[in-house]
Amino acid sequence: MTTETMQTAAVVGSGYMGGGIAQVLALAGLRVGLADQDYETAQRNYERLVSQAVILEQDGMFAAGSAEKIRHNLWVPESLEQAVADVDYVTEAVPEVLEIKLTMLARIAASCRADTVIGTNTSAIPIETLSQVVTNPERFLGVHWMNPAPFIPGVEIIPATRTSEQTVIAAEKLMLRLGKIATRVSDSPGFVANRLQFALYREAVDMLESGVATAEQIDAVVSSTFGFRLALFGPIAIADMAGLDVYAGAYTTLEKAYGEKFRAPALMTEAVEAGHLGVKSGSGLRGINPADVPALVAYRERAYAALAELRRKLGPAPGL
Ligand SMILES: NC(=O)c1ccc[n+]([C@@H]2O[C@H](COP(=O)([O-])OP(=O)(O)OC[C@H]3O[C@@H](n4cnc5c(N)ncnc54)[C@H](O)[C@@H]3O)[C@@H](O)[C@H]2O)c1
């Protein structure tokens, strides 16, 4: 099965995430069956996805003709079994409850072709755990989208131990065809995105609970300072640009105050001890080539200026 031949798909769990994923698949020309707890729920979600697409098209966020494409390419089969029966790709987006996921994945695997690629959109459950109920597990993997699916560029691709390389490549090619940035990551709970996202959230709520800052203050600081940078660079590159010696100094203070959880990471400490401080010394954890630094810094300033301008144009988020 090559991605070029993928023409049909099913989305099981047509809620918030499944609905957005279905829209993206439909916009790329795939015929997509929507399945949910029952026919009526799937039908309601179909209507919602079409009317949402009409508004997004009117507002210029979907190209002209998108709503019609979505109306035409989505359909509501009588049952889950009918939805997955003869499709090239199935994505599961039912609630993040292990028992529900296991039940639904077993049903999907039993009802689709042996060569149908099956992706789960789980946020944090190891793919290995879910793969236990999937027959022909070589065609099963994690394909983790972020919300809202039509607009967030990245998708995590997570193979389990028995996932075939052919399946991973097929999923990566499909994401590329959908215009997404697919990054292959290993199968650990929360993968990359949610392990980081949830670590940040836990610390933010700790600060809120202990009265360090209000919710408004936390959100304002994050979105206008280091969170602003994260729209363009990852934390490893940002640390290399800041200087790992600077990070080491800050960790000394943080560990004294908050203990073990803020101990400086060993890999970073070793880099500092070896004099590898990031772009200022010519090497850090991203291994940026010193010859690329002037162009990187110029790009960074241009990108931050453009992002700051976009924020000014958009103005504050309503209600926040
Ligand atoms: N909400 C997010 O931001 C987000 C982001 C990435 C991943 N996810 C993951 O995506 C999955 C779905 O989350 P969501 O936010 O779309 O939830 P949701 O509640 O909006 O949608 C879940 C859908 O599954 C349906 N459903 C429930 N039980 C079912 C069953 N037994 N069979 C078929 N359908 C069933 C519900 O009716 C609903 O339409 C979860 O695994 C979640 O962790 C969510």
Test site for ligand 1: of 23, 36, 107, most ligand atoms within 8 A of the Cβ: 36
Which ligand 1 atom is at minimum distance from the Cα of 45? 39
**Is the same domain home to 91 and 26?**
yes
Residue 217 lies in a domain: no
- Residues 6+ positions from 65 with CB-CB distance below 8 Å: 57
**Is the same domain home to 66 and 118?**
yes
Q: Which CATH number belongs to the domain containing residue 279 in this structure?
A: 1.10.1040
Residue 50 lies in a domain: yes
Which ligand 1 atom is at minimum distance from the Cα of 94? 24
Mean pLDDT value of segment 189-200: 98
Model confidence pLDDT, tens digit, residues 243-254: 999 999 999 999
Residue 218 lies in a domain: no
**Is the same domain home to 171 and 253?**
no
Q: Look at the chain and report how many structural domains it folds into.
A: 2
Mean pLDDT value of segment 146-152: 97
Test site for ligand 1: of 34, 43, 121, most ligand atoms within 8 A of the Cβ: 121
As a whole number of angstroms, the distance between CA 28 and CA 12 comes to 18
Report residue 67's pLDDT band, with 50, 70 and 90 as the boundaries: very high
**Is the same domain home to 24 and 119?**
yes
Check whether 270 has a pLDDT greater than 90.
yes
Q: What are phi and psi of 155, to 5 degrees?
A: -135, 135
pLDDT at 282: 85
**Ligand 1 pocket, CB under 6 A:** 12-18, 36-37, 41, 93-96, 100, 104, 121-123, 145-147
Could you tell me the residue range of the domain that residue 250 belongs to?
225-314
pLDDT at 2: 54
Question: Residue ranges of the alpha helices (H) in the chain?
Answer: 16-27, 39-58, 66-73, 80-84, 98-111, 127-131, 165-177, 193-209, 215-224, 226-230, 235-242, 244-258, 266-273, 293-314
DSSP string, 228-279: HHHTTS-HHHHHHHH-HHHHHHHHHHHHHHHGGGGPPPHHHHHHHHTT--BT
- Among 184, 203, 238, give the residue marking a domain's end: 184
pLDDT at 5: 81
pLDDT at 4: 63
DSSP classification of residue 282: T
Mean pLDDT value of segment 53-80: 98
Does this model's pTM top 0.85? yes
**Is the same domain home to 238 and 96?**
no
pLDDT at 64: 98
Atom 7 (ligand 1): residue with closest C-alpha? 123
